[in-house]
Amino acid sequence: MEKYQIRAVQLDLARQMESMDFIRKFIDFIAGNGYNTLFLYVEWRIRTESFSCPADNDCYTAKEMGEIIRHASSRGIDVIPGLSAFGHAELLLKHDAFKSYGELADGRHGRFWTNSQHCICLSQPGARDLLDRYFSEIADIFPSRYIHIGGDESWDIGYCDRCASKTGAFKHEQELYLNHLKFCHTIISGKLGRQMMIWDDMLELYQDILPEIPRDILLVNWQYNPDITSYMGHFANNLSIHLLDTYDRLGFDYLIAPADKSSANIRTLTEYARRGKRLIGGILTCWEKSVIFMDSSLPLIAYAGQLWQGNETSTPEELFRKIVAGLFGMDDDLLTRTLWSIYEREVTAPRLTASSISYPCEGFDHGGRARLQLEYAVLENFSGNVRTELGRTILQDLLRNLTFSLAYADVHLAARSIAFGDTAASTLAANAAERLNKLAKEYGEAWGVLRSGVKPDMASPFYEGCAKTAMDLVNRLSSSGLLRVRLCLPDKYSAAQTRISLKYASSTKEVACGVLKHLPGGALYEYIFAVDFEPHPISVLVEVRGYGGQGIAYVEAHIGLVTLVPSAITAVRGMVDSPNHVVDNDWKWAFLGERDTMKCFRDRAMAETWHAIEIQMHALKP
């Protein structure tokens, strides 16, 4: 693995602060597992002279960063700061003194119909002055050769009045991004003499400017799919190209960035990148730990570090076995295989709200629930046998994660059963909610140990909220009518806004409005909404706008003993393909909106245009 000059792992301190003691121990851990770099993703978490707003419990000081850097240096670890000079600037823009620097400062909505303040206005002279000073202050703290300025997911570029005049055509939006990138490069590379790093996902969207970007900027390519066999663009129609070939041809050096989601993601992205001629390293990204802890990620962190260091054995399983033996102080086949089963896949809890659930068209994943139960039982049996303190900490964190996944699976199963008439399943949901409340207490106790001194405790309220949502859902499903909607979404990265309403003789009632995805799962899935019906609705109105469109296959309403089904399509507006498919009780679908995400991204008026279908409903005879 001679190409991995930079072997980095990320700490996401922007989303969740960690104690100084934890960061020092984390540095010790990565130093012993093949890494030579710590990527501190801080956004605006460091207080400086030019950014003095943050309270003591909401930031790190230059002195604290200096202590981290000195400790890291003693262990042979470089520390690269990760900043946010485009999007993801919430920690800056939440302060009154800097709110005017946001693209959506006047309350208007951005690309995805929210007014969340996360994107810096790239035309603001004051914002540029601040970035100039802040970059310089960060460079005074961090001696690293590299400074990462973000650049990812900057969706709301060009939405304020100041920028909008420059983004009448998509090429101007690209130019706005490019000009700001060059401005940052002038400061980082020209004034400060450092090498600039950026995430590269916006370059999938702004492909025209790629040849104009300074070649000494390091591009960080993140891919989080479980099996990287080809390049899949983010929010770009699942763009399938070998982007690393493009970087090789244009003369950019780059790093790959898998995530601590699964060992399969780490391994297959590493294999995929082997052909890259200008690959110089990798960053293992570890995002958003505000309601979980880092401990369960440690085996994956060790796996990536040792893989990139060149500790390759004949099989991936053998490398993982050596890591488990070192962390847990025991080489047990059952323990290793169980952990491999857990870490080879990304375990994602299904989405639940207080009024809706969703399922793939194949139905509930009973096998997945059984697998979680088996993994939990095996790890629980080993909890008294692990021989190292670190191994015991990792095991307890894994058991907490599995407890949550199992509780949510039980709620999902109970909600499904209740929706199909099995009211006895509410006991299963109540037991799951009880486990979630118990988990909240466990997290509160663990927080005081693992994040001693870090306030507030974000985890306990989260799990208490999950328990409440679970019971609210099953109670609503038990007492309300149901609206079942079968949907199709081929591109999981697309983001069409779907609004579903019930139309009565003299009124219209909105049931849902949002991006109605189902993750994880395939393209075909069903949403079940708990609805307080008025009289029987005459029709169901489905409206779609935005990016990638939305397919709809069927709708069905249950009001007491009455079932309403489609009888005809009474109205169509905008782009609607095969509307009559919705009348049939099967899984072929009508499609609303523009399928080409990139086409909508380039044309804001197109993205804002609603497309609609109205479905007349009638009651089935008993």
Quick: pLDDT tens for 45-68: 999 999 999 999 999 999 999 999
Closest among 169, 94, 154 to 121, alpha carbons compared: 154
Closest among 540, 535, 7, 494 to 270, alpha carbons compared: 7
**DSSP state for residue 294 in the 8-state scheme:** S
Structure tokens at 146: 């590299």
Q: What is the pLDDT of residues 377-406, one digit of tens each?
A: 999 999 999 999 999 999 999 999 999 999
Q: State what percent of residues in the chain have pLDDT above 70.
A: 98
Q: What is the largest CA-CA distance in the chain?
A: 78
Question: Scanning the structure block, which residue is given the tokens 């390519």?
Answer: 221
Residue ranges of E strands in 42-116 = 78-82
Q: What is the pLDDT of residues 306-357, one digit of tens each?
A: 999 986 567 899 999 999 999 999 999 999 999 999 999 987 766 789 999 9
Determine the Cα–Cα distance for residues 463 and 178; give it in Å rounded to an integer: 42
pLDDT of residue 166: 58
| β 481-488/495-503 pair status | unpaired
Residue 499 DSSP SS3: strand
Which residues fall within 8 angstroms of residue 558, CB to CB, at 6 or more apart? Answer: 481, 482, 483, 484, 564
Determine the Cα–Cα distance for residues 314 and 441; give it in Å rounded to an integer: 44
Range among 225-239, 385-399, 509-523 rated most confident = 385-399
Q: Per-residue pLDDT for 2 more than 90?
A: no
Closest among 406, 405, 428 to 477, alpha carbons compared: 428
Q: Per-residue pLDDT for 167 more than 80?
A: no
Determine the Cα–Cα distance for residues 405 and 32; give it in Å rounded to an integer: 31
Using an 8 Å Cβ cutoff, are 275 and 332 in contact?
no
* Number of Cβ atoms within 10 Å of the Cβ of 249: 10
Using an 8 Å Cβ cutoff, are 569 and 582 in contact?
yes
Residue 317 DSSP SS3: helix
Band (pLDDT 50/70/90 cuts) for residue 163 is confident
Where along the chain do its domains lie?
A: 6-221+248-256, 333-478, 481-619
pLDDT of residue 85: 97
Cis peptide, bond prior to residue 456, ω within 30 of zero: yes
Structure tokens at 404: 């949550």
Q: Per-residue pLDDT for 438 more than 90?
A: yes
Using an 8 Å Cβ cutoff, are 606 and 545 in contact?
no
HSE on the CB side for 31, CA within 13 Å?
Answer: 15
pLDDT of residue 315: 87
pLDDT of residue 430: 96
**DSSP state for residue 349 in the 8-state scheme:** P
Determine the Cα–Cα distance for residues 91 and 535; give it in Å rounded to an integer: 47
**DSSP state for residue 191 in the 8-state scheme:** I
Structure tokens at 512: 């849902």
pLDDT of residue 525: 95
Q: What is the pLDDT of residues 547-561, one digit of tens each?
A: 999 999 999 999 988
Q: Per-residue pLDDT for 490 more than 70?
A: yes
Q: What is the pLDDT of residues 121-155, one digit of tens each?
A: 998 899 999 999 999 999 999 999 999 999 999 99
Q: Per-residue pLDDT for 182 more than 90?
A: yes
pLDDT of residue 171: 87
Rounded mean pLDDT, 179-203 = 97
Band (pLDDT 50/70/90 cuts) for residue 243 is confident
Determine the Cα–Cα distance for residues 117 and 102; give it in Å rounded to an integer: 6
Closest among 461, 475, 487, 474 to 542, alpha carbons compared: 487
| β 6-12/37-41 pair status | parallel
Q: Per-residue pLDDT for 35 more than 60?
A: yes
Band (pLDDT 50/70/90 cuts) for residue 372 is very high
* Number of Cβ atoms within 10 Å of the Cβ of 596: 17
Closest among 544, 555, 578 to 486, alpha carbons compared: 555
Tell me the CATH class for 481-619.
mainly beta
pLDDT of residue 518: 85
Q: Domain 6-221+248-256 classified CATH 3.90.1150.10?
A: no
Determine the Cα–Cα distance for residues 382 and 363; give it in Å rounded to an integer: 33
Task: Please give the model's pTM, rounded to 2 decimal places.
Answer: 0.95
Closest among 181, 172, 164 to 104, alpha carbons compared: 164
Residue 405 DSSP SS3: helix
Structure tokens at 364: 């509930």
pLDDT of residue 141: 98
Rounded mean pLDDT, 113-123 = 91
